[in-house]
Structure 1
């Protein structure tokens, strides 16, 4: 069904600060960094809130001042740096404030604090409107603007509604990706990239943020679709996710859902805040009740919308699902593979007059369906297996036709930024190309 693939390029475009001439942040996604040859401090300020990262030549710490309250935050294990720091950075990603150092060719997180734990909600539009930056000490070559990424994952090709890839006039392909922050999923955001199908170079184009519940979130695992004269943006609400507390079930938690946004602006460039609303996806079955959905992928065929996604029986036990209907407001369940326990990245791929469904079988699945890319029909019966490198974590089957060949854009689970951020800083982009002509 698909030819075999061979890896042709691996890359990881790590960027702390996407510099801008004016510092105005539409979302809690900000950074300031500087070269330093001695003690330095960098800060974000909004109203009476002052967020400061300091490097005294030996250790890194954070100080948060809100009103008359002042708290200090440092890591005994990771805060000691010593000499040799070339650059120092302070980042705001979601609710997480992080101080980082650049030493020996790599960035590493040295201190961090969740601002909601000290009474600050940085995702409020009014708080963001007053945000400014500052620096003291030996700061040189100061840059400020948006936070970039420690890695990329959840990569999807931007498509037309029929599933064909959206290309610019020079042949550039567009992708959406999850730009990893220094921590778990709420520190990430959705980014837009240009991909040269010949050189495989990636170029950052912009970022998408989502306004819901009166806050601006860095939601991600996004599909950007051109439908007529507007863009449809389906995304997963990972920006507000909070897992259930297994030790205390009474504590509040926030599940993951899927939202939809529409816009006539050029979402392929620059930063945009989109008003999103819940996309109702059917999940009930005789065997299980869903606690969350994510990874939406949309395609319209013969007047019917198809939506692939993931449904979870619990966190984290999840499987691929397919729904369809005459509109996105009237979807019904078509099929679900409840035999899987760690399969995601549900992707709709036009192929020879029909549509197939790709997915990624993670290593926590039953033994016979681990570390592979199954290909399903529209009833989610497995009909083939994609023969391409299955790297670490849960790489997706993002397939792009290029002439008579195919590109497979995947990602791995390699972390970045040291041990302090924990899970969520992955991954490296892995591009593969078909080794012979397109199959029929």
Structure 2
């Protein structure tokens, strides 16, 4: 078949510490507040405070009648007066940030594990903010972009991972509408998850959303409390008739059992579903250790009767994506070691490569048909928020369009 070489035409980075829309009542531990002075979140006798004295910012945490102070030796001090102070609760992590001059910068962070169960729904129900502006936590960057298959009226809707101020357990799933000509993005909704094996609400992400008849299927990766020794990553599946294109949602999930026979798998993630005339295809990633991983493909008449069809190669290859190219199903992937986008058949044998620049990190090959052409939406690894958050605040959305034709 023939596809064009793709070239980068634009980048977008919607950053919102406080997401547009309603605040309390809060249904998930992804909450933010901003103002020019001290800020607080509280539930019952628990109180989480960001303080700023004109020269430095720090955190104070009160639980069980005990208050502790958490001030970073390296990052608390600002270069002068700031325009805005921010407080973010993302999963179990509490972060104080400042903005201006320049972008939001994390000044201090504290992990609340062992002090508060922030995932507990009764604790969340009592959560209130004392701040000039408060609401759901938005995002510092976007990654793991997929097309929401079956969006109504020809709309281009994307699921994405909204990056938090830290590693994967500070992120969550969000849905966005894209205008394919102007590349304008509109934040539609945030989606959180209950697990079948433990109580609470989690910000799981690396998600695929699919319209299947009168319901949405939502397959996601359990990164929301990842600990490689205690909580390996798995894939869950939710089914709902709720309007996922608006508002805030907490979805009940069940395990999506992905077959890994003979793979020596320690975890699976990046699900992508497709219903075909013969049943289901499910692309995913299987890891032999953290972090060494490769694509895999399962098939079955139903999603609870899958068998392993093929396992691919690579040691840092993910973003497994099913696509119809030239009238045939293909599996696309992103190979970070070779910095390329292989095109595979359903036995995961390489049939070609997508011709495009390779951004930083492991950008996914998400193709959107636009008329007789294609729009490619991916992401990079550019961090945000200063040095304190470390890995996980990426990235920019990167948009590519075809140039001259080349054979794939």
TM-score by length of 2: 0.97
Secondary structure of 2:251's aligned partner: strand
2:100 to 103, 107, 128: 103
Residue 334 of structure 2 corresponds to 360
Could you tell me which runs of 5 or more consecutive residues in structure 1 were left unpaired when the two chains were aligned. Answer: 136-141, 161-165, 245-252, 364-369
* 1:41-120 aligned within 5 A: 41-117=38-114, 119-120=115-116
Q: In the TM superposition, what whole-angstrom CA distance separates every residue of 1:235-271 from its partner, at most 9, and x where no partner exists?
A: 0000021123xxxxxxxx2100000000001111111
2:250 to 273, 295, 310: 273
How far apart in 1 are the matches of 2:406 and 2:203?
37
For the Cα contact (< 8 Å) 2:23–2:136, is it kept in 1? Answer: no
How far apart in 1 are the matches of 2:258 and 2:86?
41
Q: In the TM superposition, what whole-angstrom CA distance separates every residue of 1:125-172 from its partner, at most 9, and x where no partner exists?
A: 00000000114xxxxxx2110111000000000003xxxxx3x43x53
For the Cα contact (< 8 Å) 1:19–1:144, is it kept in 2? Answer: no
Residue 250 of structure 1 corresponds to none
Pick closer, same or farther for the CA change 1:175–1:255 going to 2, 3 Å. same
- Report the alpha carbon displacement of residue 105 of structure 1 after superposing the two structures with TM: 2.4
Secondary structure of 1:3's aligned partner: strand
Q: Once superposed, which parts of structure 1, at least 4 consecutive aligned residues long, lie more than 6 Å away?
A: 437-440
- Report the alpha carbon displacement of residue 433 of structure 1 after superposing the two structures with TM: 1.0
For the Cα contact (< 8 Å) 2:5–2:406, is it kept in 1? Answer: no
Secondary structure of 1:209's aligned partner: strand
Secondary structure of 1:186's aligned partner: helix
For the Cα contact (< 8 Å) 1:19–1:143, is it kept in 2? Answer: no
Secondary structure of 1:204's aligned partner: strand
- Report the alpha carbon displacement of residue 439 of structure 1 after superposing the two structures with TM: 7.7
For the Cα contact (< 8 Å) 1:57–1:82, is it kept in 2? Answer: no
Secondary structure of 1:290's aligned partner: coil
Residue 158 of structure 2 corresponds to 175
How far apart in 2 are the matches of 1:19 and 1:336?
42
For the Cα contact (< 8 Å) 2:30–2:137, is it kept in 1? Answer: yes
Pick closer, same or farther for the CA change 1:21–1:221 going to 2, 3 Å. closer
- Report the alpha carbon displacement of residue 82 of structure 1 after superposing the two structures with TM: 4.1
Pick closer, same or farther for the CA change 1:274–1:438 going to 2, 3 Å. farther
1:336 to 286, 311, 316: 311
Residue 120 of structure 2 is aligned to residue 130 of structure 1: no
How far apart in 2 are the matches of 1:82 and 1:263?
48
How far apart in 1 are the matches of 2:22 and 2:98?
23
For the Cα contact (< 8 Å) 2:55–2:81, is it kept in 1? Answer: no
Secondary structure of 2:375's aligned partner: strand
Residue 138 of structure 2 corresponds to 148
How far apart in 2 are the matches of 1:333 and 1:197?
35
Pick closer, same or farther for the CA change 1:303–1:438 going to 2, 3 Å. farther
How far apart in 1 are the matches of 2:334 and 2:373?
21
Residue 259 of structure 2 corresponds to 282
RMSD of aligned C-alpha atoms? Answer: 1.4
Pick closer, same or farther for the CA change 1:86–1:198 going to 2, 3 Å. same
- Report the alpha carbon displacement of residue 23 of structure 1 after superposing the two structures with TM: 2.0
How far apart in 2 are the matches of 1:409 and 1:129?
37
Secondary structure of 1:395's aligned partner: coil
* 1:250-399 aligned within 5 A: 253-285=230-262, 288-337=263-312, 339-363=313-337, 370-399=338-367
For the Cα contact (< 8 Å) 1:404–1:438, is it kept in 2? Answer: no
Residue 196 of structure 2 is aligned to residue 195 of structure 1: no
* 1:18-29 aligned within 5 A: 18-29=19-30
- Report the alpha carbon displacement of residue 436 of structure 1 after superposing the two structures with TM: 5.3
How far apart in 2 are the matches of 1:24 and 1:51?
17
Residue 13 of structure 1 corresponds to 14
Secondary structure of 1:320's aligned partner: strand
How far apart in 1 are the matches of 2:361 and 2:6?
19
TM-score by length of 1: 0.90
How far apart in 2 are the matches of 1:421 and 1:275?
30
Secondary structure of 1:435's aligned partner: strand
How far apart in 2 are the matches of 1:316 and 1:411?
20
Residue 139 of structure 1 corresponds to none
Residue 398 of structure 2 corresponds to 430
